[in-house]
Structure 1
């Protein structure tokens, strides 16, 4: 291991940072390569709006790229958007995202470091966690007006989601224009060299590039990664109801990864694991015609990362015993759980049982199982897994 702050300039490692799961680099990849080869310790950050306490594998796409920079010795900052989340960043959907209170965002930000420890557990060069309410909450109206003078309304309307709403005659809140300004000012407040984020944040990150150049007379780079999505463009995340939280129990994590679409396997391997690219290519060659086996290997790797190899082995054995040896079908309908739902609620709403009274009766008669284990408590809170009634009725709870 290298000493703290020693900068790695190995061309092969830098090439991987610039190419593994990267969509775009601003101003361009050659500029960033030059910075990385110079031996200078770069300060870079990833913004994270704490709108929830959950961390799912879609979130980790950006976290793994930050880890690569951390391993090269650069200063990595994870910025909790405790203030910007109170504004509500435009979501890309037809309406604005619900804003949170400052206290809610602070509460959601707690525990983030522990949940992501498996990714950033590298004491030779620890990451820094900052909170943007520490400077944004101190701005007064005069500061906001001065900041706004760096942009035009026309520039704001260039954002694709605003263009879409304009065409559809849907409202755009004036406060939504402030979000990219506030996110952009984060770059100035921390005086960063680089920002990493998803392609959906390109507009906001480039706003920071503009402000850093005008207010600090400094060139700031931007590196974007694609969002984790299937071939149709459907994201893997909370908004689509298919999020896979990284702190699930090993058996649940393994099982949920096995429900991913086949076309998401390789992007997830590349952007959400620490498996070396050479090894990923080997797995591709070995399992090109067996997506189920490839998915099982991906599930094993993810359980290993967030638990350990023994837990991954147990989770794989559990999945095999429940789904393979007991002839549970691979194809079945899915049902998205809501907070507080019981097994009785699920059995009725998923139309496995015609009524709640029948659902209770089926459980009492020991006809209901979850992942091969009998369900005894009708009022227990349902959890993810395969719910089975009798020998013919199955539904995957997600």
Structure 2
């Protein structure tokens, strides 16, 4: 039996899915956690739930997903700043630990199940590369990446589509706007389009179609997904789907969750599903399934992007081979709704403005000393020439 693991770090909630695409296999196992990372003083990291009671202070950080690739980093603890991509990789590690123990079979090559993680479709190549680098640095190079849109399309083609190779529009709405992507045969047709909030879903989709010379009549289906607080507004999300379906006359479905759709699709793809070669084989999650059973329910609102402590951490410095927050590898332990994962090295730090000014001052002083010494040597040479020779 083939199996796959899908991971998705969202702005408010994060999801892990273990699924099989084989006929007669059990329904997917879905795990949901708040996207809040607790960095404990003993070197462990916990995703979701409340901050644990520990000896020493625990740093809590959220809101790091949109900062991936930002050289300014994310403020943690006493004001030190760390790379957001390391925090995302660490959150993925925590989610993956929640899925253990995984079997030693079920992968596409006969070994352990393959693992695929999604990233926001609107990300540019630099942000994707930053996350890839963080995962590789954290010894998670075995984890493949796919966009949210391509994963959501895989869910649709595996679960609902009557035939492969359809042109599927993915309309993803979040708290700051909407992203439209067009997927055919599991691959994005060019870049995704980003729109600010408040626009018409049909106009936004039509704009994306027109950029490639397509009309709404060329669409086979539209999948509506969501992220952030708006994803919890079922009436609004279903309203988008109804509007698009009636205006364009195409099938328009709301993905489960709807923030879980991409994680489900990633698990399906990790299990080996390919829309161009595989038969449509539902994974056991019916299209009308609006609320997926989870191991732990999402608890409360996300924690603001501030630390719960003022314990000083190691000063931020530049380094060519720094430690990653995601370099984890100890046995898990369930604490406060999450899994504690050991993180012996600290996150890669981002140089502070003060550090840079200090370095500049030191550099200027060095140049000044060098100039004085050089001038003295020149004067000695002149004196020697005039009075000795």
TM-score, normalising length: structure 1: 0.31
Point out the structure with the larger strand share: 2
TM-score, normalising length: structure 2: 0.32
Please say which structure displays the higher CA radius of gyration. Answer: 2
Point out the structure with the larger helix share: 1
Q: Which has the higher contact order (CA 8 A, sep 6+)?
A: 2
